[in-house]
């Protein structure tokens, strides 16, 4: 069955339009609670709710709480917390579901809802379909004697900080590293600085004063340009950029050069192999640079491509029984440490390699030769309709013929925004750019 509301990463959209409205979110809370109650009518169910720092989070937190309570489900409120923290705390508190109010790397005027199972994994298709089916039924609240109760958990940040630190090797310390940390004015603002400082790093933190509107605004993993300049200006060893909900990581080396998720994935996988900790191989996506695939093959590390999206990467990892996967965007999954993509924990993985090998971030990727890629995002009203457009399809075929065996073209509709994403990869960077701009012109 096709889904009406759920996309590749939960439910997401512009606040106040479409489905991202208080009445829909209240009904969604009731639907989730009712599905849980029907699965086990005699048990008490409890749901965790966390959010990022965008202003609409307060509104939707209240709406979700009301909906869940009306279904007879208890609610535990965490306040602003990173998405991967909700995954961990859902397991730690043994709750039935964890809910995150976040639109990840999107601007403040977007918001969305993500769900984690009691195992700390994104809920499966069957659960999403059950929730959508419940949305079509009339909202009938339980008797007032059976309404759910709500309470706030105050020590959630401390619990998650300690969990993150526990994934860093005990025999290592960050005391010799100077790091610039960009929190994207998002959910990691009160968590990530403590993790790195308590492990000994000399830290300069930027974009850690959220005001409800500045989340991801010219900062974080999607806009690391200022971070690049600061790392060089302060003669830091490296920079760390997280996104608004803390599940993505981009790093910057001491030369001020961006180190994306592809390069970080390669470093993590190689180090795991060298220590006999690599179980199976590595999962990337259709966007993963061909140079990464070739470098892994040269190291005798199996590699598979999944569709774009951490959900697809995770499903492939589970199917293969592997532990390491990720995307160029910085969504890195290390199943030996946690159950979902986690920017802080992925950063600690890289930092442990730097400390152990006593090499810089730039040196760790010296042997990785990546092919030039051009990435363009074109705003459209109906992405799926654009992909069906006959002249655009013909332009795609012509571009593929022009690239031949010397390059790759990927055109897709974003799963989280109203965008057409174009990726062209090949040895000739100028040709990549020209071909991508020509395709964008056809769309416009």
CA distances from 374 to 403, 421, 429 (A): 13, 10, 7
Q: DSSP secondary-structure letter at 414? A: -
> What does the block give as tokens for 72?
């007879």
Q: Are 323 and 334 in contact, with CB atoms under 8 Å apart? A: yes
Rounded to whole angstroms, how far apart are CA atoms 100 and 54? Answer: 12
Q: DSSP secondary-structure letter at 340? A: S
End-to-end CA distance of the chain: 33
Q: What is the rounded (10 degree) CA torsion for 296, 314, 321, 2?
A: -130
Altogether, the residues listed in the chain come to a count of 444
Q: Are 221 and 82 in contact, with CB atoms under 8 Å apart? A: no
Rounded to whole angstroms, how far apart are CA atoms 7 and 418? Answer: 12
CB under 8 Å to 142, separation ≥6 — which residues?
70, 71, 72
With b for 16 or more beta-carbon neighbours within 10 A and e for fewer, the 379-412 pattern comes to ebeebeebbeeeebeebbeebeebbeeebbbebb
Rounded to whole angstroms, how far apart are CA atoms 112 and 287? Answer: 24
Rounded to whole angstroms, how far apart are CA atoms 372 and 286? Answer: 15
What is the dihedral sign for C-alpha 309, 50, 131, 340?
A: positive
Q: Which helix (DSSP H) or strand (DSSP E) does residue 56 occupy?
A: helix 56-70
CB under 8 Å to 163, separation ≥6 — which residues?
88, 92
How do beta strands 150-152 and 74-80 pair?
A: parallel
Q: DSSP secondary-structure letter at 146? A: G
Q: Annotated active-site positions, please? A: 104
CB under 8 Å to 255, separation ≥6 — which residues?
232, 362
CA distances from 189 to 220, 250, 437 (A): 11, 16, 37
């Amino acid at each position: 069955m096709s889904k009406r509301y759920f996309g590749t990463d939960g439910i997401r959209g512009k606040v106040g339009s479409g489905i991202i409205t208080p009445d829909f979110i209240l009904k969604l809370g009731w639907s989730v609670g009712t599905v849980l109650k029907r699965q086990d009518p005699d048990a008490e169910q409890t749901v965790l709710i966390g959010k990022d720092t965008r202003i609409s989070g307060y509104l939707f937190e209240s709406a979700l709480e009301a909906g869940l309570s009306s279904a007879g489900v208890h609610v535990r409120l965490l306040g602003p917390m990173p998405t991967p923290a909700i995954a961990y705390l859902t397991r730690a508190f043994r709750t039935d579901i964890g809910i995150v109010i976040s639109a990840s790397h999107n601007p403040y005027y977007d918001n969305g809802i993500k769900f984690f199972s009691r195992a700390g994994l994104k809920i499966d298709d069957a659960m999403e379909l059950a929730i959508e089916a419940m949305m079509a039924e009339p909202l009938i609240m339980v008797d007032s004697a059976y309404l759910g109760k709500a309470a706030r958990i105050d020590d959630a940040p401390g619990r998650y900080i300690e969990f993150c630190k526990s994934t860093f090797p005990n025999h290592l310390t960050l005391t010799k590293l100077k790091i610039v940390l960009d929190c994207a004015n998002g959910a990691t603002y009160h968590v990530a600085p403590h993790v790195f400082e308590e492990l000994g790093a000399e830290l300069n933190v930027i974009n850690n004063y959220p005001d409800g509107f500045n989340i991801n605004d010219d900062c974080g993993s999607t806009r690391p340009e200022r971070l690049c300049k600061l790392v060089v200006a302060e003669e830091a060893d490296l920079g760390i950029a997280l996104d608004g909900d803390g599940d993505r990581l981009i790093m910057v080396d001491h030369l001020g050069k961006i180190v994306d998720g592809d390069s970080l994935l390669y470093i993590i996988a190689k180090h795991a192999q060298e220590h006999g900790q690599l179980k199976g191989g590595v999962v990337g996506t259709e966007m993963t640079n061909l140079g990464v695939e070739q470098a892994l093959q040269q190291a005798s590390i199996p590699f598979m491509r999944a569709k774009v999206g951490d959900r697809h990467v995770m499903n492939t990892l589970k199917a293969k029984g592997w532990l390491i996967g990720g995307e160029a965007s910085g969504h890195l999954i290390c199943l030996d440490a946690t159950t979902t993509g986690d920017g802080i924990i992925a950063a600690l993985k890289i930092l442990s390699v730097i400390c152990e090998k006593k090499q810089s971030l730039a040196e760790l990727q010296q042997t990785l030769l990546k092919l030039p890629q051009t990435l363009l995002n074109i705003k459209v009203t109906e992405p799926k309709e654009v992909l069906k457009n006959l002249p655009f399809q013909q332009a795609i075929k012509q571009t593929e013929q022009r690239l031949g065996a010397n390059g790759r073209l990927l055109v897709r509709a974003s799963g989280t925004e109203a965008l057409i994403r174009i990726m062209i990869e090949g040895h000739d960077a100028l040709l990549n750019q020209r071909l991508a701009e020509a395709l964008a012109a056809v769309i416009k």
